[in-house]
Structure 1
Amino acid sequence: MFERDSTIGTMSAQVARIIGTRIVSGEFGPGDSLPIEAELCQEYGVSRSTVREAVKNLAAKRLIEVAPKLGTRVLPFADWNLLDPDVLSWRLSAQFDERIIEDLYEVRQCFEPRACYLAARTGTQDDHDRIGRRYADMVSMLDQAPLAAGAESEFHLAIIAATHNGLFVTIGGAVKTALKASFSLTQKDASGTPIDLAPYEEVLSAILARDGERAEAAMRRLLDLSRQRVLAAVAHHRERGRSWR
């Protein structure tokens, strides 16, 4: 029987998390069949209805496919819904390495600098006030890693929201988990070096000045620095045989 996690709502969600993590970690590979329903019930100490709901959840995320006579099979990586917050979270938990970091920062570089440009040029005064408050929250919480992680992600999300572009907002929400995880990891860097707030302040200053080009360039620099810091922290923890979490 698995150990229940009180931070996760339903029993089926907890079972889905465990099976999903086993899939994204490679324990179950593409084309592999999951254990039959009765075996999953026995392994996790849950009812059939709980297992069925968990399987339905994983199928909706395109991690598995349920077919008559073929059973439940793991789908290829290309079919996974990689922007699903749960799938992203499970991948981060199972394989927070250079590859996934590079993938995440490539996606962020594709849209966050443009989001800064739009936030600066077309964002409302309320939008700018909100971005300023999120920056102030991050500054005030910097010595409290879990709170600072949330505040840092909200700073980025406030910028994205200021674009009033629904697709940007959807992508921003999907990577929120990654923003928190990467920021939390860098806070654990054993060097004890505090995160440099100057790049964030530069982004904020450019947006408030409605200088779209400067805001766009500032975000590119911020993302480059953030990527380097996360990669360095991962290497630091790997050298010492530690988990990133």
Structure 2
Amino acid sequence: MTHSERQPRPDIAEHLAEAIFNGHYEPGDFVPKELDLCENYGVSRSTVRSALQTLVAAGMIKRISGQGSRVTELSEWHLLNPRVSDWMARFARPNPRFQREIFSFRVAVEPFMARLAAENAGAADLLDLETAYHGMVEALNRDDNQYQGISYDEYDIAFHEAIFAATHNVLWSQVSHMLKPAIALLVGTTNQSADELDDSMERHRRLMDAIRLRQPEEAEKAALSVLERTGRDLGMDDPTGQLSVIRWPQALSLPESRNSEC
């Protein structure tokens, strides 16, 4: 067995992404120069350049001729890129700005998703929603917060994914897949710090029932109620009221009739 076979090549891009997400390198900071990275990781310059280009493509750093690679502002990061969102979920330190940005997006989008789900959910969608809810309840009743090997947080994420899927819109379903790591970051933070999980579960139940009973307006209100609980667990005052919530059906002039088709 050769030395290269015994020692897997380090993922330099991931190591640098971890350092950026955990705040070791802040926006405006320069990451180590190419030659320093070559020496630190024992790899060729072409390997280092490939890793840096991965971060450039992710919008996280910018190469500046004669100076090096500087971390860009958060607004330039491609957070919906699956690899970047995975890094964020695994490496981001508790960061109020990340939390607020994710929460703001959810407040703007999820009430509309709940409305669409109430209009379009089929039997299989309702089963997925109820299964996730049941898993949350059962996990809460166990000391390790797990049920059938799945954690409460994972059931919570599955619950919200089921709502996106129940819209029966391919693009919205894909958005939920792209956002899963980001939502997981927020869910993990809030559920670990929430003092009133029983209240949260009651809000989730009302949302599920509104979708099951095909009550779009009630589903929208219930989704906002769930998010209000999330915001309070994050320490926000008047979490839904202080954000500019987009009323998607009115803004997009969507028809209110159920299952309307073009």
Sort the TM-score into its range (normalised by shorter chain): 0.7 to 0.9
Counterpart CA distance in 2 for 1:60 and 1:94 is 19
Query: Which one of 228, 231, 244 corresponds to residue 227 of structure 1?
Result: 231
Query: Deviation digits for residues 201-235 of structure 1, max 9, x if unmatched?
Result: 11111111011111111000001101211338xxx
What's 1:123 paired with?
121
Q: Report the alpha carbon displacement of residue 171 of structure 1 after superposing the two structures with TM.
A: 3.0
* Letter paired with 2:15: I
The 8 Å contact of residues 88 and 181 in structure 2, kept in 1 or not, is answered as no
Counterpart CA distance in 1 for 2:215 and 2:101 is 29
Counterpart CA distance in 1 for 2:47 and 2:155 is 35
Query: Any residues of structure 2 matched to 1:1-245 within 5 Å, and which?
Result: 11=9, 14-30=11-27, 32-48=29-45, 50-66=47-63, 71-88=68-85, 90-91=87-88, 93-142=91-140, 143=142, 144=145, 147-189=151-193, 194-196=197-199, 197-231=201-235
Q: Report the alpha carbon displacement of residue 103 of structure 1 after superposing the two structures with TM.
A: 1.7
Instruction: Work out which of the two has the higher radius of gyration on C-alpha atoms and give 1 or 2.
Output: 2
* Letter paired with 1:40: L
* Letter paired with 1:99: R
TM-score normalised according to structure 2 size: 0.71
* Letter paired with 1:116: A
Counterpart CA distance in 1 for 2:172 and 2:40 is 41
Q: What are the ranges of 5 or more consecutive residues in structure 2 without an aligned counterpart?
A: 1-7, 237-262
Query: Deviation digits for residues 96-139 of structure 1, max 9, x if unmatched?
Result: 23332222111001111110111111122222222122222222
The 8 Å contact of residues 33 and 72 in structure 1, kept in 2 or not, is answered as yes
Give aligned-pair identity as a percent: 31
Could you list the runs of 4 or more consecutive aligned residues of structure 1 that deviate by over 6 angstroms after TM superposition? Answer: none
Query: Deviation digits for residues 148-176 of structure 1, max 9, x if unmatched?
Result: 11111011011001112233223322332
Counterpart CA distance in 2 for 1:228 and 1:162 is 27
Q: Report the alpha carbon displacement of residue 49 of structure 1 after superposing the two structures with TM.
A: 5.3
The 8 Å contact of residues 23 and 93 in structure 2, kept in 1 or not, is answered as no
Counterpart CA distance in 2 for 1:183 and 1:86 is 19
The 8 Å contact of residues 16 and 57 in structure 1, kept in 2 or not, is answered as yes
1:48 to 1:141, Cα distance in 2 relative to 1, 3 A: farther
RMSD, matched Cα: 2.9
* Letter paired with 2:167: T
TM-score normalised according to structure 1 size: 0.75
What's 1:240 paired with?
none
Q: Secondary structure at the match of 2:176?
A: helix
What's 2:254 paired with?
none
The 8 Å contact of residues 98 and 231 in structure 1, kept in 2 or not, is answered as no
Q: What are the ranges of 5 or more consecutive residues in structure 1 without an aligned counterpart?
A: 1-9, 233-245
Aligned residues: 221
Counterpart CA distance in 2 for 1:45 and 1:120 is 56
